[in-house]
Structure 1
Amino acid sequence: MTKQPHFQLFIDGAWTEGSKGQVMETQNPATGQTWATFACASAADVDRAVRAAARALDDPKWRDITPTARGKLLYRLADLIEERAAELGAIETTDSGKLLAETSSQTRYVGDYYRYFAGLADKIEGAVLPIDKPDMHVFTSRMPIGVVAAVVPWNAQMFLTATKLGPALAAGCTVVLKASEQAPAPMLEFAKLIEEAGFPAGVVSVITGDAQNCAAPLTRHPMVDRIAFTGGPETARHVIRNSAENFAVTTLELGGKSPILVFDDADLDGAANGLIAGNFGASGQSCVAGTRGLVQRSILPALIEKITEKAKGIVIGDPLDSTTHVGPLCTEAQVRKIEATLAKAKEQGATVHFGGVAVERAGNFVAPTLVECNGPETETLHVEMFGPVMSLLAFDTEEEAIALANNSVYGLGSGIFTQNLARAHRVSKRIRSGICWINTYRAISPIAPFGGFNASGYGREAGLESVLDYTRTKTTWINTSDAPMANPFVMR
């Protein structure tokens, strides 16, 4: 019998069990069976990791290396990620149920994120100020913000780690990365590459554990200077409260109920594919999932017919199989939430055109589902289910479409399908979302900022500005006069 793998914590450059000896099991969502175990961090382990990060911040091995040298370490990490993409993808698929086709290709692409930030490491510049005092030379420089607590969820974790770890390391910070206690195996395996790339001990630690013993002690730790969090709004509220203990600069990338607007001049095939990508891609387990399809009334029947026809070809099955399109959900709780939400929607008069049931097989499978809503208050239009459920609602006018799009507490992604360029510009400008895709959906790049409005959080990841977010501006004044300092009781 094959021995189950066991994953340790990576703290201060060493592999270790948790100080309290706590071990948790992780299940394969495709089978419902335990496939591995992992060590859990206690508050003492968190403290050890944060203190190691604080020491590394002032250690000449990290403090004094040039920005170009920091970039070279990130380039090396990118190469290692690409080399191990298939292996990391297989571990992520086994642990989370996401399709291997996506986890392996996304992991490979993540290498480009680290290369992008590697190239920015020696582009972080200050400025000489045209100061209004002729005997003063004044300039600014950007300093590393300090110790970063990076908290990532189980979905898209290689990508979400890159958008935090890449800019933080490029800026010269040190990082304690907290992986979700649900499906943490790929992050703990990824830590091996940090070590292999040659980062000094303590610069990056990778831990996992529950909220009480790991996440809370990390986000309120007095030595943490910045928190980068991706997760749900309820957990984010705890993170914000915790940050009151250390005044850490905090960015939040939270959930979404992203609208996809389809106008009557849209290419129906393209729109159908966009809605399928936004709802059934990643088995619906994506924060930018376009789960509110708003469709001009005149084309709604034709679009439903087209989506229904395309959905017949969707293969549900083993996420390790390259022919599978929709795999299992990560947790059984997601299945139960979807069932309850659909039941409420049906009570409200919604029509389920296909799907709507758990798949009869082992594991956490839900069939791709299409719901036609009979009003804007339908439950499926407001609850983030994190599963393959598409909700469509008709609109008549452009103004109505915009109002419906903005009828949400969230504001992460949005999509527009139209052949009218003027309308695309006009409508996208008025939708309150951090990202808007036009005639496409679910595209990402290290060059493009990623983040939301409203309950979808604040701050941006990726892009140039994300590196600057991991710095603080220091202003330096130099007296260029030979004269001694004048009256000490008068401010200059």
Structure 2
Amino acid sequence: MKEMNYPTIQHLIGRDWIASPTPEDRAVINPANGQTIGQIPQASAADLDHAVHSAESAFRRWKNSSPMERSAILRRFADLLRQNDRLIAGWITLDEGKPLVEALAEVRSSADHVDWHAEECRRIYGRIIPSRSPRVQQLVVREPIGVCLAITPWNFPLSQAVRKVAAALASGCTMILKAPAEAPAGCMAIARYLLDAGLPEGCLNLVWGNAAFISETLIARPEVRKVTFTGSVEVGKHLAELAGRHMKRATMELGGHAPVLVFDDADATAAARALAVNKLRNAGQVCIAPTRFYVQQGIYDRFLSELVSAFESVKVGDGLAEGTQMGPLCHRGRVNAMEKLVEDARENGARVLTGGKRIGNHGNFYAPTVVDTPNDDIDLMREEPFGPIAVVSSFRDIEDGLSRANGLPFGLASYVFTNSLERADKAAAGLQAGMVSINQFGLALPETPFGGVRDSGYGTEGGTETFEGYLITKFISRNRAPVL
């Protein structure tokens, strides 16, 4: 760990790195072995006040900066991420647990997201509306909303934060980033390399500590005009309520429990193998991971056999070890949650076909698990496991499949496997989700919109829609002739 120079976790306020030890400091734990690798400082009320003033002061300057200047800084930032990809990826594996190859992919994808925002921010256009009088000019302009608060999750500690930070800065906003205590190094990398790229002081402020205290304090501040959050439905609803109380704009990217419809005309073997890889990415700790597998009766047994085989072939271990395909869960609480869900499944008539248990006595390892259930009555079919568990059930026809897929209040990602264009179109139209992926997994690309509906939240990140949450629309109507 020392050779990787795991960073000292500090607040960044303005250009000052601050970390005054307190009794409330929290340990950063390597989930592969339980060892402490760092300490999380706790922001005080004074720290938060300082961060707000820093971000507000910087906004008065940054909002008037040229899009070309913002673009150039972001491009330098993307280059620094790529130049230091192995160092950053090693940090992410140490504190979050994912295999090094996945962490490298996260760093490189994050750099791509930054480049996208750097290019698109040069195309934030207004428009002229033809008026009813030749004397009147009607303009629509887009202006940055102001200081933004971002609260980001631990499962993709770099990329989830990068999307919010890049969109805000590219729009001309400044940001206070409350980063995840479980996996902090990714956000430390963002702050460090943005400063190295030439970002003016105060444009990004990084704080750590008690999530409830930080969110409630900052959302109430009049200087903070936008809240963006990625995390659980329960916390998201609470934050949305706080934001609504103060009339703050909010973007909420919340939980998923993504359904999969595998029709009987699909290649059962190919679908099972592809879904296994995507289900077990980051040990299943992915909000868009395929989770509820609905497989049509005609290929059910064959699909189930292939899925079990694929799960049993996965090498689980320390993410830094050679050949590891799935690492540990990020923290011990996730292992406990897996055990509780599997116990409920067994008690209520489901079959555990593989896995269903911890691995070893050290670290947060849980075996890739396949559960076969005849109905949707078990907790696994209602609660997002956020771990390496696939729950599989058969369906009769497309109406039955859609009804069960839409049976939960979530609506983030969904997946369809079929060789029928008619079935694909009908399923895409019928699924109540913000994203539908057919015969592939093409979600979360920089150029495509990412977001959910219903309890999975509102607002969009990525694509040309990425700036909508950070801009206000102003209409200007001007009489060219003097008014006498």
Q: TM-score range by the shorter chain?
A: over 0.9
Deviates more, 1:262-271 or 1:365-374: 262-271
Matched-pair contact (CA < 8 Å) for 1:42–1:213: no
Q: How does 1:191-340 map to 2 (within 5 A)?
A: 191-340=191-340
Q: Aligned partners of 2:63, 2:449: CA distance in 1, in Å?
A: 28
- TM-superposed CA distance for 1:218, in Å, is 2.4
Q: Work out whether residues 278 and 291 of structure 1, in 8 Å CA contact, stay in contact via their aligned partners in 2.
A: no
Instruction: After superposing the two structures, state which structure 1 stretch, 192-201 or 127-136, moved more.
Output: 127-136
Residue identity (%)? 34
Q: CA deviation at 1:371?
A: 0.1
Cα separation, 2, equivalents of 1:451 and 1:133: 41
Distance apart, 1:220 and its partner CA = 2.8
Q: 2:55 aligns with which of 53, 75, 100?
A: 53
Counterpart residue identity of residue 375, structure 1:
N
Q: 1:481 to 1:298 in 2, by over 3 A?
A: same
Moved more, 191-200 or 180-189: 180-189
Kindly indicate whether the alpha-carbon contact (under 8 Å) linking 2:7 and 2:188 is maintained by their aligned counterparts in 1.
Answer: no
Once the two structures are overlaid, the 10-residue window that deviates more, 474-483 or 382-391, is 474-483
CA drift at 1:304: 1.2
Counterpart code for 1:95: D
Rounded to whole Å, the distance in 2 between the matches of 1:382 and 1:41 is: 36
Please give the secondary structure, in 2, of the residue aligned with 1:478: strand
Pair 448,343 (structure 1): closer, same or farther in 2 beyond 3 Å:
same
Q: Does 1:127 align with 2:127?
A: yes
Does the 8 Å CA contact 1:418/1:439 hold for their aligned counterparts?
Answer: yes
Structure 2: distance between partners of 1:442 and 1:36: 35
1:393 is the counterpart of 2:396: no
Q: TM-score, normalised by structure 2?
A: 0.96
Alpha-carbon distance, 1:374 to partner: 1.6
Q: Does 1:143 align with 2:143?
A: yes
What letter matches 2:80 in structure 1?
L
Deviation at 1:163, TM superposition (A): 1.7
Please say if residues 126 and 141 of structure 1, whose CA atoms lie closer than 8 Å, have aligned partners that are also in contact: yes
Going from structure 1 to structure 2, the CA distance change for 1:434 and 1:483 (only over 3 Å counts) comes to closer
* Aligned equivalent of 1:170: 170
Does the CA-based 8 Å contact 1:345-1:378 persist in structure 2? yes
**Letter of the aligned partner of 2:352 in structure 1?**
V
Query: What SS class does the counterpart of residue 413 from structure 2 fall into?
Result: coil
Residue matched to 1:432: 432
Runs ≥4 residues deviating over 4 A = 1-5, 18-22
TM-score, with length taken from structure 1: 0.95
Q: Distance in 1 between matches of 2:197 and 2:380?
A: 45
For residue 490 of structure 1, what is the aligned residue in structure 2?
none
For the residues of structure 2 that align with 1:105 and 1:125, how far apart are their CA atoms?
32
The structural deviation recorded for 1:18 is: 4.8
Change (3 A) 1:174 1:119: same
Alignment partners' CA distance in 2, 1:29 and 1:20: 24
What residue identity is the alignment partner of 1:381? Answer: M
1:310 is displaced (CA, Å) by 2.0
Match of 1:25 among 9, 16, 27: 27
What is the identity, as a one-letter code, of the residue corresponding to 1:334?
R
In 1, distance between residues paired with 2:194 and 2:332?
Answer: 32
Describe the SS at the equivalent of 2:122.
helix
Confirm or deny: 8 A CA contact 2:312 2:354 kept in the other structure.
Answer: no
Structure 1 window deviating more from structure 2 (274-283 vs 368-377): it is 274-283
1:36 to 35, 38, 41: 38
Task: Name the CA shift for 1:442/1:357 in 2 (closer, same or farther; >3 Å).
Answer: farther
Number of equivalent positions:
482
Call closer, same or farther: CA 1:367–1:172 in 2, change over 3 Å: same
CA distance in 2, matches of 1:352, 1:178: 39
For each residue in 1:311-360, what CA deviation from the matched residue of structure 2 results, as whole angstroms up to 9, or x when unmatched? 23210111112411111001111111111111111111000000000112
Give distance in 2, aligned partners of 1:318 and 1:176: 33
CA shift at 1:245, angstroms? 4.4
> What SS does the corresponding residue of 1:392 show, helix, strand or coil?
strand
Range 451-460 or range 130-139, more displaced: 130-139
Is the contact made by 1:41 and 1:213 (CA closer than 8 Å) also made in structure 2?
no
- 1:443 to 1:483, Cα distance in 2 relative to 1, 3 A: closer
User: Is residue 451 of structure 2 the alignment partner of residue 451 of structure 1?
Assistant: yes
1:406 aligns with 2:411: no
- Match of 2:448, SS state, is coil
Measure how far apart 1:104 and its partner are. 1.2
- 1:371-382 equivalences under 5 Å are 371-382=371-382
CA contact (8 A) 2:9 2:41 kept: yes
Q: Secondary structure at the match of 2:202?
A: coil
Structure 1, 163-172 or 455-464: larger mean CA deviation:
163-172
Between the aligned partners of 1:443 and 1:454, the Cα distance in structure 2 is 19
Contact 2:273 2:306 in 1 (8 A): no
User: 2:67: which partner in 1?
Assistant: 67
Deviation at 1:468, TM superposition (A): 2.8
Q: Deviations over 1:153-208 (max 9, x none)?
A: 10112211122111111110001111012221221233111110111110011112
- Give the Cα separation in 1 of the matches to 2:7 and 2:197: 23
Asked if 1 retains the 8 angstrom alpha-carbon contact of 2:269 and 2:302, the reply is: no
For residues 54-104 of structure 1, give each alpha carbon's deviation from its aligned partner in whole angstroms, at most 9, with x where no partner exists.
111113xx2432111111111111111111111111111100111211111
- Structure 1 residues 4, 465: closer, same or farther in 2, change over 3 A? closer
For 2:58 and 2:475, the matched residues in 1 are separated by 24
In structure 1, give the amino acid aligned to 2:51: A
1:29: how far off? 0.3
Partner SS, residue 43 of structure 2:
coil
Match of 2:10 among 8, 18, 25: 8
Gaps of 5+ in 2: none
Are the counterparts in 1 of residues 152 and 230 from structure 2 also a CA contact under 8 Å?
yes
Which amino acid is the alignment partner of residue 256 of structure 2?
G
Q: Distance in 1 between matches of 2:6 and 2:223?
A: 36
Aligned-residue offset at 1:19? 8.8
Q: Could you tell me how far 1:214 is from its partner in structure 2?
A: 2.1
Specify the code of the residue in structure 2 equivalent to 1:371.
Answer: V
Tell me which amino acid in the other structure corresponds to 1:228. Answer: T
8 Å CA contact 1:260–1:275 kept in 2: the answer is: no
Tell me what 1:180 maps to.
180
**Which amino acid in structure 1 is aligned with residue 359 of structure 2?**
V
CA distance in 1, matches of 2:121, 2:441: 30
Shift of 1:480: 1.1
Q: 1:19 to 1:473 in 2, by over 3 A?
A: farther
Cα root mean square deviation, aligned: 1.7
Q: 3-state DSSP class of the match of 2:403?
A: helix
Does structure 2 conserve the Cα–Cα contact (< 8 Å) formed by 1:27 and 1:33? yes
AA of the residue aligned to 2:123: K
Are residues 244 and 426 of structure 1, via their aligned partners in 2, closer, same or farther at CA, if it must alter by over 3 Å? closer
